Structure 1
């Protein structure tokens, strides 16, 4: 009997939905689950028919963080191998986060419960975060003698500011949905039974424009904090040159000109 997929995939009307599927472990991220996530993100990127992506969790949790079984195996490993094996594992963690960050389409985390550690980092790797009324976020790495390794040190300060990010990481405290919206960790709160509908509605809204323009804008704005104004302007100039040649732009201009002739503008 085959094992159920660690990540379930569904596509509806151009929107891909990935559901973390280890409900008995509150969707804790195992190495095998991460490998499936990477495979699916690559597949989504290659599919021109997908215009937005939603990530959510099955059961009562979004993602409880790293799999405790992996932590135990690290404790039992030969000390001489722990450092390099840990470094190698981190490359996989960061590859998955970078794939999600750099997908050329809008991405949404529909957080249906606890998002802890790697789970909270996974949510913030998405462009937008919608929290159900039962959602919570926490970065308790330091309580376990670790640093946030799933992108939290990059994403969290960009959402809440440097001092608040430090406070959340140093304390590891749990942030409920309403406060998460107030702090900017999440973009909106949605009742649990309508969470996925809220996410689909947002995906429709955020992906209704030119695919080319969205992809190019995202590629620049994701890194605008690290660039000078002249660098952002230069990247924008190159992107606009590409947009001038896109089928979406040409169709939009042609439609505008035709409406102008008819007096509809």
Structure 2
């Protein structure tokens, strides 16, 4: 079986492509899910990676689960209710735990439809940039199922509960313009310019010290479920670490000396 994820490196930016255009990059195989988990583990361990860009090959970003397997109750949808529960817990649910919790910023370059689990996958990323041809749907209810991979937690935190409720309870599809209006994506560009626009954002992130990037993302994540006083305590601890990095000193010196900083990741 060929790899589902293809990675390309440009300096400190890792561009990852889902490469199953014949299935519209559907998430349907345990091996695909394991690839996401392994990718996150390798990036987390590689201090030289500053930003990840995630996109899809072919006309779709990700079409979600394989509906043919659902119909036949095969693949990851096979077995008793207990077995199916374990299939979710040990399969696709590992992706949000790995990808959303990754310390490195992730930019989603949404090249086409992001449907069901595909939309939730985009929501696991930090920033979403959309091609003008992309479409979005939290479509589980149309198949008589629920968001099984964290969408009910992720989507309201991005677009707010009323819009998330509308998307999840109707299952309706919205276009890129509506996604921009609702704050689901931060930018919409012509399809031919998508990767360039995503890499521009990634390079602007990667221009900053790696410690600052990882600690800042962690604070943003923790702040979503912490009280303010608890977050302030964590911020103080992280800040004390940041002040003692070489890159912080270099950033301050470069600012005072009016020159470009040269960061080393230390």
Question: TM-score normalized by structure 1?
Answer: 0.90
1:135–1:252 Cα change, 3 Å: same
CA drift of 1:72 comes to 4.0
1:37–1:225 Cα change, 3 Å: closer
Task: Show the counterpart of 2:263.
Answer: none
RMSD: 2.1
1:78–1:149 Cα change, 3 Å: closer
CA drift of 1:225 comes to 2.9
Task: Show the counterpart of 1:162.
Answer: 161
3-state DSSP class of the match of 2:109? strand
3-state DSSP class of the match of 2:188? strand
1:90–1:76 Cα change, 3 Å: closer
Asked if structure 2 preserves the Cα contact closer than 8 Å seen for 1:61 and 1:112, the reply is yes
Task: Show the counterpart of 1:183.
Answer: 182
Task: Show the counterpart of 2:111.
Answer: 112
Note the alpha carbon deviations across 1:29-60, whole angstroms, 9 max, x for none. 12222222222222222222211101111110
Q: For structure 2, which runs of at least 5 residues remain unmatched after alignment?
A: 260-266
Q: For structure 1, which runs of at least 5 residues remain unmatched after alignment?
A: 261-265
3-state DSSP class of the match of 1:222? helix
3-state DSSP class of the match of 1:18? strand
Asked if structure 1 preserves the Cα contact closer than 8 Å seen for 2:130 and 2:176, the reply is yes
Question: TM-score normalized by structure 2?
Answer: 0.90
Tell me which structure has the larger Cα radius of gyration.
1
Count of residue pairs the alignment pairs up: 257
Note the alpha carbon deviations across 1:64-116, whole angstroms, 9 max, x for none. 0012354245369999x422222222223222112111222211111111100
Task: Show the counterpart of 1:174.
Answer: 173
3-state DSSP class of the match of 1:17? strand
3-state DSSP class of the match of 1:93? coil
**Alpha-carbon distance in structure 2 between the residues aligned to 1:178 and 1:107:** 22
1:107–1:72 Cα change, 3 Å: same
